[in-house]
Structures are given as structure tokens and as C-alpha cells.
Amino acid sequence: MRKTANAESSSDARIKGQPVLRYDPLSQTLKPLENKKVTTGKIYSHFSPEHKRYVWAYALGDGKWSYPLGPGTTELPDHFDLVTPPALTRALLEQRAGEWLARSRQEGSPILARLAADDHWELLEFRSVRSHYDLDSGCRWEWHGEQRIGVLHPHGRRWKYIEGRYRPDF
């Protein structure tokens, strides 16, 4: 039986003493963070007892987490609590995404990071929208402006991620 996707799904990062991790764009590694320094509304990697591994999710506060983000999720870099200060983060983004960053600004499209199947984030170098794949429910959502829209297929709303693609889950 699957869990329904909602923001109240939670796990406690302190279980088994596993630290919460945040991304360091300079070294391109994950760095441990004290639980009391976790910022509500930001994305972190935390240990999920349900999945028996680290997963990415939004911090909800009080040690609670949103649904775990699955492969193919796309998100704005501003939604992460990065180790680097904003000015340095922007400079690194300029350095790594140069031509694409200039083109996206010209088109008015956002820069997005995509969660790869091996659990690392990479810059998307094409136009897209924010989207989430919920590992627990198999549901997908896209954001069009501020509105969250469910992604459906002819047989329902649940998906599987297989070999780099979403496939309907019957």
C-alpha cells in the first residue's frame, strides 16, 4: 500500500544519529549541518528510515520533512540551503552555466537544477518548469507560476522512474 503524498509525511533526521547534509558548490560535496541550523522551507539531504538511505526533501521544522524528492525532480537553486553565501553562489553559477545563464535571462526562464538517478543535482541547460517526483506516492507535480498541477497519464496519477524515464504505474 502506498502513502498519499502530502507535506505532513515526515521522518526525523536524528534517527540513528545521521546528520542532515547540505550542498557545497565549491567542493561539489555534501557537508553535515547541525540540526538546530536547518532552515524551514529549504532543501536538504537527510536520512530516511523508510528508504534506509539519504533522500532530498524540504525541511518543515521540528525535525519533520516533506515527501522525499525522486529522480527527475527539478528545482530552483534558491530553494537549497547552500554552504556558500549568495554572492559566491551566483558567481559559481555564472562560471558553470555561462552561456545558458545569459540565454535564460534573455528568455525570462528560470535556471533549474535536476536530481539525477544517482542522487546528485545537475544544472538543466534547457527550458523547463519546477517539478517534483514523490518517491513515496509515485505522484508527480509541475509548477506553472505559483500553481502546483498534478501530472496524470491515461490510467491515473502514479509513476515509476525506470532507466531515466517516467513510466505509468498501473
* Vertex 35: Cα angle to 31 and 37 (nearest 5): 80
pLDDT for the residue 16 = 56
**In whole angstroms, what is the distance from residue 116 CA to residue 121 CA?**
6
Compare 115 and 86 and report the one with higher pLDDT.
Answer: 115
Q: How confident is the model at residue 92 (pLDDT cuts 50, 70, 90)?
A: confident
pLDDT for the residue 28 = 84
pLDDT digits (tens, 9 = 90+) for 95-147: 877 777 777 777 777 888 899 999 999 888 888 889 999 999 999 999 988 88
Q: How confident is the model at residue 4 (pLDDT cuts 50, 70, 90)?
A: very low
Q: Residue 165 region, left (φ>0) first, then alpha (ψ -120 to 50), else beta? A: beta
Q: Is the pLDDT of residue 14 over 70?
A: no
Q: Is the pLDDT of residue 71 over 90?
A: yes
Which run of H or E residues covers position 147?
strand 147-150
- Mean pLDDT rounded to a whole number for the chain: 84
pLDDT for the residue 101 = 73
Compare 27 and 132 and report the one with higher pLDDT.
Answer: 132
**In whole angstroms, what is the distance from residue 30 CA to residue 135 CA?**
21
Domain ranges, ordered by start, for the chain: 15-128
**In whole angstroms, what is the distance from residue 85 CA to residue 107 CA?**
26
